[in-house]
Structure 1
Amino acid sequence: MNVFKTARRQIIALSAIALLAGTAGANAAPTAKADAKAGEAPSATTAVARVNGVDITRAELERAKKIILSRNQMASAAMNDEMSKKVEEAALNQLIAKELLFQAGKKQEIKDLDKKIQEKVAEHKARFKSQADYEKALKEMDMTEKEVETFTREDMVIGNLIETKIVANTKITDDEAKKFYNDNKDKFRREEAVRASHILVSADQKASPEEKKKAKEKAEALLKQLKGGADFAELAKKESSCPSSAQGGDLGFFGKGQMVPEFEKTAFNLKPGEVSDVVETQFGYHIIKLAEKKDAETVPFEEAKERIVQFLTQQKVQAGIGEYVDELRKKGKVEILSK
Structure 2
Amino acid sequence: MHVFKTIRGQIITLSALALLAGTAMAADAPAAKTAAKAGEASSPTTVVARVNGVDIIKAELERAKKVILSRNQMGQATMNDEMSKKVEEAALNQIIAKELLYQDGKKLEIKDLDKRVQEKVAENKARFKSPADYEKALKEMDMTEKEVETFTKEDMVIGNLIETKIVATTKVTDDEAKKFYNDNKDKFRQAESARASHILVGADQKASPEEKKKAKEKAEALLKQLKGGADFAELAKKESSCPSSAQGGDLGFFGKGQMVPEFEKAAFALKPGEVSDVVETQFGYHIIKLAEKKDAETVPFEEAKERIVQFLTQQKVQKGISDRVEELRKKGKVEILAK
What is the aligned partner in structure 1 of residue 125 from structure 2?
A: 125
For residues 2 and 231 of structure 2, the distance between their equivalents in structure 1, rounded to whole angstroms, comes to 42
The structure with the largest alpha-carbon Rg is: 1
What is the aligned partner in structure 1 of residue 257 from structure 2?
A: 257
Whichever residue aligns with residue 11 of structure 1, its letter is A
User: Normalised by the size of structure 2, how large is the TM-score?
Assistant: 0.81
Instruction: Name structure 2 gaps, 5 residues minimum.
Output: 8-12, 20-36
What is the aligned partner in structure 1 of residue 101 from structure 2?
A: 101
> Alpha-carbon deviations, 1:290-331, whole Å to 9, x = none?
101112222222222222111111110000001111222233
Change (3 A) 1:10 1:124: closer
> Alpha-carbon deviations, 1:145-179, whole Å to 9, x = none?
11111111101110111111101111111111111
1:12–1:155 contact (8 Å) kept in structure 2: no
1:18-167 pair list within 5 angstroms: 31=40, 42-76=42-76, 79=79, 81-167=81-167
What is the aligned partner in structure 2 of residue 175 from structure 1?
A: 175
Whichever residue aligns with residue 12 of structure 1, its letter is L
Aligned pair count?
316
**Range 296-305 or range 221-230, more displaced:** 221-230
For residues 252 and 191 of structure 1, the distance between their equivalents in structure 2, rounded to whole angstroms, comes to 15
Identity of aligned residues (%): 85
1:12 paired residue among 9, 12, 17: 17
For residues 219 and 196 of structure 2, the distance between their equivalents in structure 1, rounded to whole angstroms, comes to 17
1:6–1:314 contact (8 Å) kept in structure 2: no
For residues 70 and 217 of structure 2, the distance between their equivalents in structure 1, rounded to whole angstroms, comes to 54
CA shift for structure 1 position 84 = 4.1
SS at match of 2:277: coil
1:279-294 pair list within 5 angstroms: 279-294=279-294
User: Normalised by the size of structure 1, how large is the TM-score?
Assistant: 0.81
Whichever residue aligns with residue 334 of structure 2, its letter is V
**Range 116-125 or range 132-141, more displaced:** 132-141
CA shift for structure 1 position 102 = 0.7
Change (3 A) 1:43 1:202: closer
Whichever residue aligns with residue 236 of structure 1, its letter is A
What is the aligned partner in structure 2 of residue 187 from structure 1?
A: 187
1:176-215 pair list within 5 angstroms: 176-203=176-203, 206-209=207-210, 215=215
What is the aligned partner in structure 1 of residue 274 from structure 2?
A: 274
For residues 83 and 266 of structure 2, the distance between their equivalents in structure 1, rounded to whole angstroms, comes to 53
SS at match of 2:4: helix
> Alpha-carbon deviations, 1:67-104, whole Å to 9, x = none?
33333344445555554444333222212211111111
Change (3 A) 1:280 1:49: closer
1:121–1:149 contact (8 Å) kept in structure 2: yes
SS at match of 2:194: strand
RMSD across aligned positions (CA):
2.9
SS at match of 2:146: helix
What is the aligned partner in structure 2 of residue 20 from structure 1?
A: none
Whichever residue aligns with residue 17 of structure 2, its letter is I
For residues 183 and 189 of structure 1, the distance between their equivalents in structure 2, rounded to whole angstroms, comes to 13
For residues 74 and 202 of structure 1, the distance between their equivalents in structure 2, rounded to whole angstroms, comes to 36
Change (3 A) 1:201 1:142: closer
Whichever residue aligns with residue 31 of structure 1, its letter is E
1:29–1:76 contact (8 Å) kept in structure 2: no
Whichever residue aligns with residue 240 of structure 1, its letter is S
